[in-house]
Amino acid sequence: MGAQGFGGFRRLVLTAVAGALAIGAAPTAHAGTVALTFDDLPIFGKFRPIAEADALTDTLVGGIERHHWPAIGFVNEIQLEAADKPRRIALLTRWLDAGLDLGNHSYSHPSLTNTPVETYIADVARGDVVTRPLMATRGKTEHWYRYPFLETGPTLAARQRFEGWLAAHGYRVAPVTMENSDWQFAEPYDDALRRGDAAQAAHIRAAYLDFTARVVPWYRQAGAAVFGREPAFVFLLHASQLNADSIDALADILKAQDLTPVTLDQAMADPAYRTADTYVGPDGEEWLERFATTLHKSLPWSTMPQMPADIVAADAALEGAQPAPTQTPAAPAH
């Protein structure tokens, strides 16, 4: 009752603020906000012993808590399948105990581009068996779905079949409108740490933060180019050691950009996200690109920062040298 009353009051205030702002250069209540989303929970990358997974989660979630950010993590429950499953599940509980949200990222991270749609649906249905009841005990409902590889279906029929299933099961698609290719830096970073090469790890982390500081403003320009104003952003990150070790530096970048983290639900309330996504095809395009197609706008590609060549090469070399998975397949990146 009290919360409802406050909500009504807040809506009134926000309406007034939005109305006042509309008179100016058309900023909105959503400008300068970003939803932080972390994929491939509980742990991005190779399967780790539980002690390492615990330490990574503590550092990452502890950092998010220290900055008082709302955030959501997207889970691949295949990662829970190990002899120490209860302790793997406790990694997810750590997120919920920090007041953070969780969503479905499918069970085993398949690509809808090359998986038959009925097989894909069965995988996604299996993806919330643990997470949904875990959230229910905290009065939360799992209602966001993030496509692995951002691949939304090679044909209109496949896409409509799957998204019909999603809607019937209370899910909404969590789009991506900002990203920093963190997954491409994360594997070489893990590899450097595993080899005990602290200098290389420091180099990769510095390159990652430098790239992030340049690519975030690019996305802000791109968003303004598509919508004629800056939308609320949805930032794709991963639950990686690299991000766990970089939270304070990422916070500095967001601060320098005057970007305030909000919940995914808050970001998605931006009317920009009512724009149709008309892209159908095999590629994992992010949503500014999709909205640009719908609205017949173009993104400022010529000014987009380029990934450092040595990182791209290091990541590609690791992909090619992937050993056969042992205890459980590691969720693939992206």
Verify binding: residue 191, Zn ion, rule CB under 5 A: no
Which letter does DSSP use for residue 329 in this model? P
Q: How far is the CB of 36 from Zn ion (least distance, A)?
A: 15
Residues 6 or more apart from 166 whose CB is under 8 A from it? 124, 145, 172, 173
CB of 98 to Zn ion, least distance (A): 21
d(CA 67, CA 87): 26
Smallest gap from residue 236 Cβ to Zn ion (A): 9
Name the residue nearer to Zn ion (CB basis): 37 or 246.
Answer: 37
Q: How many angstroms separate the CA atoms of 256 and 141, rounded? A: 34
Closer to Zn ion by Cβ: residue 39 or 270: 39
Q: Hey, is 57 helix, strand or coil?
A: helix
Q: How far is the CB of 334 from Zn ion (least distance, A)?
A: 5
Q: For Zn ion, give the closer residue by CB, 40 or 315.
A: 40
Name the residue nearer to Zn ion (CB basis): 179 or 270.
179
CB nearer to Zn ion: pick between 121 and 236: 236
Displacement of CA 184 from its chain's centroid (Å): 14
Q: Using CB under 5 A, which residues numbered 31 to 50 contact Zn ion?
A: 39-40
Nearest-approach distance from CB 272 to Zn ion, in angstroms: 24
- Report d(CA 97, CA 58) in Å as an integer: 12
Which CB sits closer to Zn ion, 176 or 226? 176
Provide the minimum distance between the beta carbon of 172 and Zn ion in the complex, in angstroms, as a whole number.
Answer: 17
CB of 105 to Zn ion, least distance (A): 6
Nearest residue (CB) to Zn ion, 39 versus 277: 39
Handedness of CA 301, 305, 311, 313 (dihedral sign): positive
* Helix, strand, coil % over all residues of the chain, rounded to 5: 55, 10, 35
DSSP E strand boundaries for the chain: 33-41, 72-75, 101-104, 144-145, 172-173, 178-179, 233-238, 260-262
Three-class SS of residue 190? helix
Q: Determine contact, residues 185/311, Cβ cutoff 8 Å.
A: yes
Terminal CA-CA length for the chain = 41
In 3-state terms, what secondary structure has residue 262? strand
How many residues belong to the site for Zn ion (CB under 5 A)? 3
For the segment 131-190, give every residue that binds Zn ion (CB under 5 A): 148
The residue with its CB nearest to Zn ion is 39
- The CB-of-187 to Zn ion minimum distance in angstroms stands at 13
Return d(Cα 263, Cα 57) in angstroms, integer: 20
Identify whether the C-beta of residue 180 lies closer than 8 Å to the C-beta of residue 216.
yes
> What is the binding site for Zn ion (CB under 5 A)?
39-40, 148
